[in-house]
Structure 1
Amino acid sequence: MKLCHALASLIIAWLTVLGCIEAVTFEVKEGNSTCIKAELSASFSITYNTSNSTSTVQVALPDSATVDTGRSSCGTDGGSPWLVAVFGPGHTLGLSFSTNGSLYSIANLTLQYNLSDASIFPEANSSDVVTVVSASVGIWASINTTYRCVSPTTYRVGGATVTFSDMRLEAYMPGNDLSPTESVCMADRAGTTAPPTTAASTTTTAPPAPTPPGTPERGDYSVKNSNGTVCLLAQMGLQFNVSYVSKSQNKTVQDLVNLTPNLTISSGSCEASRATLVLTQEQTTRLSFTFTLNSTSSKYHLSGIALFANWSDMTAPFSASNTSLNYLRSTLGRSYMCNAEQTLVVEPTFSLNTFRLQVQPFGVTTSQFATAEECQMDQDQMLIPIIVGAALAGLVLIVLIAYLIGRKRSHAGYQTI
């Protein structure tokens, strides 16, 4: 029995890798309107306890899976949009979505599996229904575009993994069909093949190495409430560190690009416990910051960063986001300041460098920054000259004491006549 089950699991795994498992289509509707649509293949690798040890099974999402209409939602009641697919006796796959107005993303990936299903979990020592959740899996796209990722992509969810392939989905849909405009995942972009070469030999010159952009200019940005009062203030120099597929070099490159303040407009919103700053440069770059306030501790932090870029040398638009960050921590009623260069890692393909940064997303009362809480790097930089000065002062004192002692001893060797 164990051998048959192992063979079945191996076959499922290979079929998934080879793309032979058919994609399943799911739709979440509100009346006659579709708000979420997904076409995808999925397989699950789940480790569970048996009476003697542990066992790992491979499970494919069957084409008989359906949408759980009771738990799926378009989010019109103020909650998050949810797509919940059910299959087998008590197994579910859930995707919840969030948006900042310009991008949407999968905020949570939830897998629920029923260990009492002996056909999948033979000899399990429990009959529990296990639920595992992963936040911010890195699946996101621009609003009114379809997220597409044909390449198999695996995500860790608790003690299990979920592998998606042949994935096309869209949330917050304006119509009932997937948008023809696509936001392509990095795995598909990296797999772009080079155009065929002709038989004629040609001599090409490699493009020159890009010149480092230097320190970015510091910009002043703000967000206003509906009544026209400033509710968020920011001053900072920003530099993007992005990996993308280059048209000119026909390979993945890592590039440093500065945000230009006089070409950038700021927008956003302020709520009681959430504030957003969106910076848009010439319709080619859109960067958004999300700040979250903990009303219990009166502490706030930068919880999310999202970038959409469509630069001239890119083979496809670039997008990256992360909604589970914990940067720029400060206290309500104070601003956060860091003059030193900071690197805020968002995804493996995108990090943001900040220079001479000061920001206050909550508690702005006079259109000016409140008293600043300085970052640790600034405090350390101030501490270094103090330590050096103290050390020099101590050295001078030691030399002076040694001199006085030596002078006293030299006088003691003479007698008055």
Structure 2
Amino acid sequence: MMKLTRAYVTLWLFTWFAELGFLQAVTLEVREGNATCIKTELTALLSITYNTSSNSTSVQVPLPNTTTVDAGSSSCGAVGSIPSLVATFGSGHTLGLSFSTNGSFYSVDTVMLQYNLSDSSIFPDANSSAVVTVVSSSVGIWAAINTTYRCASAISVVVGGPVVTFSDMRLEAYMPGNDLSPAETECAADQPSTPTTTTAHTPVTPAPTPPGTPERGTYSIDNSNGTVCLLAQMGLQLNFSYVSQSQNKTVQEIFNLTPNLTSSSGSCEVNRATLVLSQDGTTSLNLTFTLNATTNKYHLNGINMLANWSDMAAPFLASNTSLDYLRTTLGRSYMCNAEQTLAVVSSFSLNTFRLQVQPFGVTTNQFATAEECQMDQDQMLIPIIVGAALAGLVLIVLIAYLIGRKRSHAGYQTI
């Protein structure tokens, strides 16, 4: 609740700063050779709370027009790196955006803010001189490929504790040319809202009927030399809520991916592998795996889902790149026949069924020896325990029978 309140206060301060003319537009771009791959025009206000010797205080920091792009930290997304725009300003302050795409849409995966508390011009009387770095995922900034994301409205992103508020934003990543595309994807905040009417009795919408267990699909990704580098077999079910245009309210949807209607794509890198599943051009699921070369363990760390259905008041986007699911040892596959629920964000979770996946170390186009999930191990343990208990019971009955029979043959004793 406190984060939401701070976001609203920051929006009010943003408007106030804008009216007084303290906010200025900044143009930033990432180049590779003579080509521009990421470009943005925006205004931004940073709201940061820090501690002094006596209490805590908040400052509002407009992004200055002297902000520049750090070419060494920014990237167009070459092999082994993520597309990112890293801007620096003042005495050691940094604002960064990282991007991903599923081929049809691109999105801001994370917003990173780094601020230097030793800068007394911004943080007077700070009781620390530390450089603080905070990161936020599930940003909600996305657009179709080859279009410019445009949002005139102020939108706030809570980045750890601080709040970053963007406005008058035009942005494009994975650019086909050196300038922003004339075609635009408008943010939800700029789209006209549908008027609502209040009635005395609001009908209760029944919970959605589960569509049943999804069909198991087989998906694979080839590397540059044509050999399989990622294998997956699984049934997938999307469980999310969105604003229905026809019902004018938020509804819950449980949706199964159908393998024969789903296309797969992706990429394999040394420490990162991505599987993108798209159905009917309206629903896309992006699964990202990372490998820790030190521990020789890999896991599912990123899930990105986009749905753009005709009944949606606005396209649904959910993204989380700080997950820790399906953790397995390199050289083995991960298997879980039981149903798993992978929570992504509050409005979206992914249910998996009869899953086996291996994003690294695939040889001979086959899964390696599987490491089973805990739920499968528990399900195997239950019949073993029951069987052992029944065997013990039979043994007790047998012993009691033998003892009773021995006594019955003992005869009478002489007094």
Band the TM-score falls in, shorter-chain normalisation: 0.7 to 0.9
The equivalent position to 2:156 in structure 1, one of 140, 153, 166, is 153
Matches within 5 A, 1:16-415: 16=13, 18=15, 20-21=17-18, 22=23, 24-30=25-31, 31=34, 33=36, 35-48=38-51, 50=52, 52-68=53-69, 73=74, 75=76, 79-99=81-101, 101-126=103-128, 128=129, 130-134=131-135, 136-142=137-143, 143-147=145-149, 150=153, 152-157=155-160, 160-166=161-167, 168=169, 169-175=171-177, 176-177=179-180, 180-182=183-185, 184=187, 188=189, 193-195=193-195, 210-412=208-410, 414-415=412-413
**Cα distance 1:257–1:170, how it changes in 2: closer, same or farther (>3 A)?**
same
Counterpart amino acid of residue 162 in structure 2: T
Number of aligned residues = 396
Counterpart amino acid of residue 59 in structure 2: Q
| 1:322-345 Cα shifts (integer Å, max 9, x gaps) | 222221122222211100001112
**Cα distance 1:129–1:386, how it changes in 2: closer, same or farther (>3 A)?**
closer
**Cα distance 1:402–1:29, how it changes in 2: closer, same or farther (>3 A)?**
closer
| 1:187-231 Cα shifts (integer Å, max 9, x gaps) | x49x97433669xx9x99987764321111111112223443322
Distance in 1, Cα, partners of 2:77 & 2:338:
43
Cα deviation for residue 58 of structure 1 reads 2.2
**Cα distance 1:346–1:167, how it changes in 2: closer, same or farther (>3 A)?**
farther
Distance in 2, Cα, partners of 1:167 & 1:395:
75
Please tell me the root mean square deviation across aligned C-alpha atoms, in Å.
3.5
Structure 1: state its 5+ residue gaps.
1-8
**Cα distance 1:46–1:221, how it changes in 2: closer, same or farther (>3 A)?**
same
Cα deviation for residue 238 of structure 1 reads 0.5
Distance in 2, Cα, partners of 1:366 & 1:117:
57
CA contact (8 A) 2:148 2:182 kept: yes
CA contact (8 A) 2:241 2:250 kept: yes
Distance in 1, Cα, partners of 2:10 & 2:280:
46
Which residue of 2 is the match for residue 4 of structure 1? none
Q: So what's the TM-score if we normalise by structure 1? A: 0.81
| 1:25-76 Cα shifts (integer Å, max 9, x gaps) | 322153584722042432222213x3x4442222231554522465574537
Cα deviation for residue 87 of structure 1 reads 4.4
Distance in 1, Cα, partners of 2:154 & 2:56:
27
Distance in 1, Cα, partners of 2:382 & 2:239:
29
Cα deviation for residue 115 of structure 1 reads 3.2
CA contact (8 A) 1:116 1:124 kept: yes
CA contact (8 A) 1:212 1:256 kept: yes
Q: Give aligned-pair identity as a percent.
A: 61
CA contact (8 A) 1:267 1:279 kept: yes
Cα deviation for residue 184 of structure 1 reads 3.6
**Cα distance 1:121–1:206, how it changes in 2: closer, same or farther (>3 A)?**
closer
SS of residue matched to 2:214: coil
Cα deviation for residue 293 of structure 1 reads 2.2
SS of residue matched to 1:384: helix
Distance in 2, Cα, partners of 1:66 & 1:136:
23
Counterpart amino acid of residue 125 in structure 2: E
**Cα distance 1:369–1:416, how it changes in 2: closer, same or farther (>3 A)?**
farther
Counterpart amino acid of residue 286 in structure 2: S
Counterpart amino acid of residue 13 in structure 2: T
**Cα distance 1:63–1:197, how it changes in 2: closer, same or farther (>3 A)?**
same
Distance in 2, Cα, partners of 1:17 & 1:70:
29
